[in-house]
Structure 1
Amino acid sequence: MSQCIFCQIVGNQIPAPRLYEDERLIVIADKYPKAPVHLLVIPREHISSLNEVGPEHAELMAHAVSVLPEVARRGGLTDGFRTIINTGPGGGQEIPHLHIHVLGGGRLPGF
């Protein structure tokens, strides 16, 4: 997956300051933020989208969700945050590597 920009960031081929990282995930600021704070939680493992997640990814997905409060705190989001997983082109996914958006830092528009 050397063409995948997130794989290149995970592999340190493209520099991106990390707000959080562990053996399964990295967290970076979105280059094109849609909110005052816009973070991306990126699995180190390349998974194209949520459509590709299966039972073998249960631990990874549980771990990703479990670190969201810590990620939000590190991003200064003490009053709440929104999480979004865009899936496929019709769902707004622009980079074909599963990632979770963490947004906050101000009043976010409703759905």
Structure 2
Amino acid sequence: MDDCIFCKISSKQVPSKIVYEDDSVMAFYDIEPQAPVHIVIIPKKHIKSLDHIIEQDKNLVGYIFLCAKKIASELGLKNGYRIVNNCGKLGGQTVDHIHFHLLGGRQLQWPPG
């Protein structure tokens, strides 16, 4: 998608501080962190939102969670972390490319707000 900021980041047209990358997934630091550790994890395949995943995406979405676990471990989040997905406007999604926030490094509150 030509106008998608996350597609531009994954194709390296837009710089980011990458913490993980392979053929399917990229993870980078959020530019407006909400915790000491705030990583955005995206599939390189453009999928608009969780509502837009299809049967063929199930392995990719599961793989994203394995990547999240690996990233959390590498960043030393031994005492816990949170994975967040915002879906749609009312869910707080601001970029129309499915993504997951990995938050940690402090005691997280519930509800988040």
User: Which of the five TM-score ranges fits, normalised by the shorter chain?
Assistant: over 0.9
Q: Tell me how far apart the structure 2 counterparts of residues 19 and 74 of structure 1 sit (CA, whole Å).
A: 9
Name the Cα RMSD after superposition. Answer: 0.9
Q: Tell me how far apart the structure 2 counterparts of residues 106 and 95 of structure 1 sit (CA, whole Å).
A: 25
Which amino acid is 1:35 matched to?
A
Alignment partner, residue 85 of structure 1: 85
- Output one character per residue of 1:33-66: Cα deviation in whole Å (capped at 9) or x when no partner: 1111100111100000000011010110111111
The runs of 5 or more residues in structure 1 that have no matched partner are none
Q: Tell me how far apart the structure 2 counterparts of residues 58 and 110 of structure 1 sit (CA, whole Å).
A: 28
Q: Tell me how far apart the structure 2 counterparts of residues 76 and 6 of structure 1 sit (CA, whole Å).
A: 26
Identity %: 37
Alignment partner, residue 29 of structure 1: 29
Which amino acid is 1:34 matched to?
Q
Alignment partner, residue 46 of structure 1: 46
Alignment partner, residue 101 of structure 1: 101
Q: Tell me how far apart the structure 1 counterparts of residues 109 and 75 of structure 2 sit (CA, whole Å).
A: 19
Q: Tell me how far apart the structure 2 counterparts of residues 20 and 107 of structure 1 sit (CA, whole Å).
A: 24
Aligned residue pair count:
111
Using the TM superposition, give the Cα deviation of residue 28 of structure 1 relative to its aligned residue in structure 2, in angstroms.
0.2
Using the TM superposition, give the Cα deviation of residue 75 of structure 1 relative to its aligned residue in structure 2, in angstroms.
2.5
Using the TM superposition, give the Cα deviation of residue 18 of structure 1 relative to its aligned residue in structure 2, in angstroms.
1.0
Which amino acid is 2:73 matched to?
R
TM-score by length of 2: 0.94
Which amino acid is 1:97 matched to?
H
Q: Tell me how far apart the structure 2 counterparts of residues 55 and 2 of structure 1 sit (CA, whole Å).
A: 25
Q: Tell me how far apart the structure 1 counterparts of residues 15 and 77 of structure 2 sit (CA, whole Å).
A: 24
Alignment partner, residue 62 of structure 1: 62
Runs of 4+ in 1 over 3 A off after TM superposition: none
Using the TM superposition, give the Cα deviation of residue 77 of structure 1 relative to its aligned residue in structure 2, in angstroms.
1.3
